[in-house]
């Protein structure tokens, strides 16, 4: 993960958590998860302050949250003390065994990666999936050039062709671009299943 982005989250974790929890519910995400995920262990990669991890657990997908930001993980543990959260980051996802999860959710994370780490990160997401498992992947769409926001967070241009190549061994069930119901930002969403 991009170090400056992690530092931004660690400087103001409470403010970011509050912003996310005050956004409208991500009903588009929830509908697609219900449509494509199957019951079983679920990883929320880039869980932030735990909002989606909690929803997954409440809706039949027992989830563990992973995030590189110690500040955001503290927020998640404070808000959801009964749930499990661990520190781990793409591209390696240290501490997660291959084939561990029936479902992997990676919601608006990969645009915070150095583009040179994109392919290895996507490959790692597929490695932690069990056979027959489902990957839900989104990123915020940035046009033309990588940029940083006022907090210093990286929003890299993600090339859909690179994503497609990295996920070539999975069956793509959904590929769409839309406005997020929660953030209102343009996102690209891919749902794919491991054979």
pLDDT for res 194: 97
**Per-residue pLDDT tens for 146-192?**
999 999 999 999 999 999 999 999 999 999 999 988 888 899 999 99
Give the whole-angstrom CA distance, residue 8 versus residue 134.
30
Q: How far is CA 160 from CA 25, 118, 183, in A?
A: 26, 11, 21
Please give the tally of structural domains in the chain.
1
Pairing mode, strands 42-45 and 154-155: unpaired
Q: Give the side-chain half-sphere CA count within 13 A for 159.
A: 10
Q: What is the CATH number of the domain that holds 80?
A: 3.40.50.150
The candidate with the shortest Cα–Cα distance to 53, out of 22, 98, 15, 21, is 21
Can you give the pLDDT of all 195 residues of the chain as single tens digits? 889 999 999 999 999 999 998 998 899 999 999 999 999 999 999 999 999 999 999 999 999 999 999 999 999 999 999 999 999 999 999 999 999 999 999 999 999 999 999 999 999 999 999 999 999 999 999 988 999 999 999 999 999 999 999 999 999 999 999 998 888 889 999 999 998
Structure tokens that stand for 148 in this block:
């940083």
Backbone angles phi, psi at 175, to 5 degrees: -145, 110
Q: Could you list the residue range(s) of the whole structural domain that residue 59 is in?
A: 3-194
Cβ-contact 187, 158 below 8 angstroms = no
Q: What is the pLDDT of residue 136?
A: 98
Q: Are 43 and 128 in contact (CB under 8 A)?
A: yes
User: What is the model's pTM?
Assistant: 0.95
Cα 109 to Cα 58, 89, 121, 128, 132: the distances in Å are 22, 10, 11, 16, 23
In the three-class reduction of DSSP (H, G, I as helix; E, B as strand; rest coil), residue 80 is classed as coil
């Amino acid at each position: 993960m991009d170090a400056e982005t992690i530092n931004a989250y660690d400087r103001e974790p409470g403010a970011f958590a509050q912003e996310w929890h005050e956004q409208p519910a991500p009903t588009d995400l929830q509908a697609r998860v219900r449509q494509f995920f199957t019951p079983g262990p679920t990883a929320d990669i880039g869980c932030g302050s735990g909002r989606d991890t909690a929803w997954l657990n409440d809706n039949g997908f027992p989830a563990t949250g992973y995030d590189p930001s110690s500040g955001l993980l503290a927020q998640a543990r404070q808000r959801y003390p009964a749930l499990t959260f661990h520190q781990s980051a793409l591209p390696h996802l240290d501490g997660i065994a291959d084939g561990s999860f029936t479902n992997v959710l990676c919601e608006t994370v990969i645009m915070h990666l150095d583009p040179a780490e994109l392919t290895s990160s996507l490959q790692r997401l597929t490695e932690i999936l069990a056979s027959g498992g489902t990957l839900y992947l989104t990123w915020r769409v940035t046009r033309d050039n990588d940029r940083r926001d006022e907090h210093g967070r990286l929003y890299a241009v993600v090339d859909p062709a690179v994503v497609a190549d990295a996920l070539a061994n999975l069956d793509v069930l959904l590929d769409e671009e839309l406005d997020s119901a929660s953030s209102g930002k343009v996102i690209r969403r891919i749902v794919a299943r491991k054979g």
